[in-house]
Amino acid sequence: MLLAPAAIGAATWFVTQVPQDTAVDAPFEIGGAVGETVHLGYADLVVTDVRVAEQIAGDGVAQAGGVFVVVDAVWQASDRTIAVGGAELVDSRERVHAATDRSGCATATTAVPAYRQRISYCFDVPPDALDGAQLRLGRGGDGEEGAFQRRDAVAVVGLGLGLDRVPGEEAGADAAPIEVHGPAPVVRTGTDGQEDA
């Protein structure tokens, strides 16, 4: 009889001691780099390219308030269709930057099994956010403090950017506006892993 209250008390104490937002609810971060495949269990993600410019051109031309970071990525779902949203760029100062839909950029997509879904995410960020920037992506949305990615796998991909990519600096960013497109037509993957088209 005494065990039940003791167990409840112990469980209550444990729950109050554990910081839930970080220890219980936090997503599982899986690191990667540009060109690497990040295996998330529910999908594979590859960041294929990262470009920086002051303008992007898709559905009209958009001028950055800071600089545009355009991240080209490919999603492939594992065994069921997933919605991918809440793309974030996190800089070295822990500031979080959201993707924009300006000029036809995509902020979310749907990935299906056996198809490779190409997408370009666009972030308008201050130049000092380039150094050490990481892309953070997972299924669902970010919500408050990643509310919809709790206890799920999230890719954290280093973008390999530095201040030398700021437009006007010596190495320079892309001089011309970057052409962007929304989610591209899907490309089916054959049984041998090769693309059919």
Binding site for another protein (CB under 8 A): 55, 60-63, 65-66, 93-103, 123-126, 128-129, 144-145
Considering beta carbons, is residue 40 or 91 the nearer one to another protein? Answer: 91
Considering beta carbons, is residue 72 or 88 the nearer one to another protein? Answer: 88
Minimum separation from the CB atom of position 67 to another protein (A): 9
Considering beta carbons, is residue 128 or 174 the nearer one to another protein? Answer: 128
CA distance 58 to 173: 18
Minimum separation from the CB atom of position 9 to another protein (A): 24
Minimum separation from the CB atom of position 183 to another protein (A): 17
Considering beta carbons, is residue 66 or 183 the nearer one to another protein? Answer: 66
Considering beta carbons, is residue 93 or 151 the nearer one to another protein? Answer: 93
Minimum separation from the CB atom of position 97 to another protein (A): 4
Minimum separation from the CB atom of position 92 to another protein (A): 12
Tokens of 71: 């991240």
Contact 117, 111 (CB under 8 A): yes
